[in-house]
């Protein structure tokens, strides 16, 4: 090792050298070393991550402040909590916030009843895999206090608490969170994001849903999107075709929300997240972290590594409630068992 004379002091030179300067009091003061490129990169990365976390927290906070809340916790015994987390995602056909002009524009009709056009279960497993499960609205289930009926009638009979209780009773899965969006909220979210692109293999015409769409890829505005996810009478697969389109649209909408053109532009993102907050109704127990977890779970479920499916079909039947959908009991139990245990859904069910 070489030695270098520095202001009357000798210091070692080389890779580990430290230059020592005399202070005014005679105490040696080592100078700071220059940061290498790796050090500067880590500092910049830390600043960028801090900004991104702060920006994400801002967007979640903007959405959270606009949320409506509802008591969705059922009374009585409930399934034990699972190792993952499960939300019930509901699309209500409530028209109470729509004007007569909007009802006509959106082709919603004027029914005063409140049913659930869409019922989905969003669940995350401990390994991070997220699954989105469509529950057909005409599924025959036992509704506590009302006997066997279509599952969407539970909401009409007793609102969110009875719907949650009915789903828990039919599946054995504990619902940890509840998220609801109505016709008006869905329309506003799609409008705020600037429309959502979907690709159709064939033209789609449904007078009752108010849509007439050509084949091919196209961007749907709020009114067209509402018709797209509601149409079933023109679909040869009926409600099963509709639930597939609903999942397709949820995936496309999620892609739009997190696209760089939207997410990285605060002049677009902040108003959008405010609209999302105004559009959603959640259970009383949900906090900001729960909202963020729900959003991340939805993104994972609709992404490349997510899982999306419909409850296994077991046939149709005619009952006092009308034409109903029956589940394949064995395959449905295999699905609910996987959700309860926090394991992956059997591949044979992912179709």
> What is the predicted pLDDT for the residue at 17?
47
Residue 241 neighbours by CB distance under 10 Å: 14
CATH code for the part of the protein at 70-349:
3.40.630.190
Nearest to residue 120, comparing CAs of 257, 291, 290, 249? Answer: 249
Strands 177-181 and 280-283: antiparallel
pTM over 0.85: no
Split at pLDDT 50, 70, 90, the class of 51 is: low
pLDDT at 331 over 80: yes
pLDDT attached to residue 100: 54
Q: Coil, strand, or helix at residue 127?
A: coil
pLDDT at 112 over 70: no
What pLDDT score was predicted for residue 207?
Answer: 85
Per-residue confidence at 94, pLDDT binned at 50, 70, 90? low
Q: What is the pLDDT of residues 212-261, one digit of tens each?
A: 999 999 999 998 998 899 888 777 787 888 899 999 999 999 999 989 89
Looking from the CA of 208 toward its CB, the CA atoms found within 13 Å total: 7
Q: How far is Cα 201 from Cα 337, in angstroms, rounded to an integer?
A: 35
- Residue 26, sorted as left (phi over 0), alpha (psi -120 to 50) or beta, turns out to be left
Q: How far is CA 151 from CA 47, 116, 120, 349, in A?
A: 50, 9, 12, 21
Q: Would you kindly state where each structural domain of the chain is located, as residue ranges?
A: 70-349
């Amino acid at each position: 090792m070489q030695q270098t004379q520095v202001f009357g002091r000798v210091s070692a030179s080389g890779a580990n050298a430290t230059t020592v300067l005399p202070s005014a009091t005679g105490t040696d003061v080592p100078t700071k070393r220059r940061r290498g490129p790796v050090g500067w990169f880590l500092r910049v990365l830390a600043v960028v991550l801090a900004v991104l976390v702060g920006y994400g927290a801002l967007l979640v906070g903007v959405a959270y402040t606009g949320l409506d809340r509802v008591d969705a916790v059922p009374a009585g015994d409930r399934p034990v909590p699972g190792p993952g987390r499960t939300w019930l995602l509901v699309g209500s056909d409530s028209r109470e916030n729509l004007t007569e002009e909007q009802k006509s524009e959106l082709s919603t009709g004027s029914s005063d009843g409140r049913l659930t056009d869409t019922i989905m279960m969003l669940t995350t497993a401990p390994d991070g895999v997220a699954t989105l499960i469509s529950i057909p609205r005409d599924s025959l289930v036992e509704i506590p206090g009302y006997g066997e009926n279509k599952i969407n009638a539970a909401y009409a009979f007793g609102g969110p608490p009875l719907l949650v209780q009915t789903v828990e009773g039919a599946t054995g899965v504990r619902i940890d969170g509840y998220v609801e969006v109505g016709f008006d909220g869905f329309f506003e979210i799609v409008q705020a994001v600037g429309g959502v692109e979907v690709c159709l293999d064939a033209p789609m015409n449904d007078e009752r849903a108010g849509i007439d769409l050509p084949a091919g890829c196209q961007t749907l505005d709020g009114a067209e999107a509402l018709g797209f996810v509601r149409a079933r009478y023109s679909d040869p697969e009926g409600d099963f075709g509709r639930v597939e389109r609903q999942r397709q649209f949820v995936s496309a909408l999620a892609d739009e929300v997190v696209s760089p053109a939207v997410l990285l532009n605060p002049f677009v993102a902040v108003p959008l997240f405010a609209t999302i907050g105004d559009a959603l109704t959640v259970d009383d127990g949900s906090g900001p972290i729960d909202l963020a977890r729900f959003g991340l779970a939805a993104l994972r479920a609709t992404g490349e590594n997510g899982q999306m499916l419909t409850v296994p079909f077991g046939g149709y039947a005619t009952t006092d409630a009308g034409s109903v959908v029956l589940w394949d009991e064995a395959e449905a139990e295999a699905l609910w068992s996987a959700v309860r245990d926090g394991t992956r859904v059997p591949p044979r069910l992912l179709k």
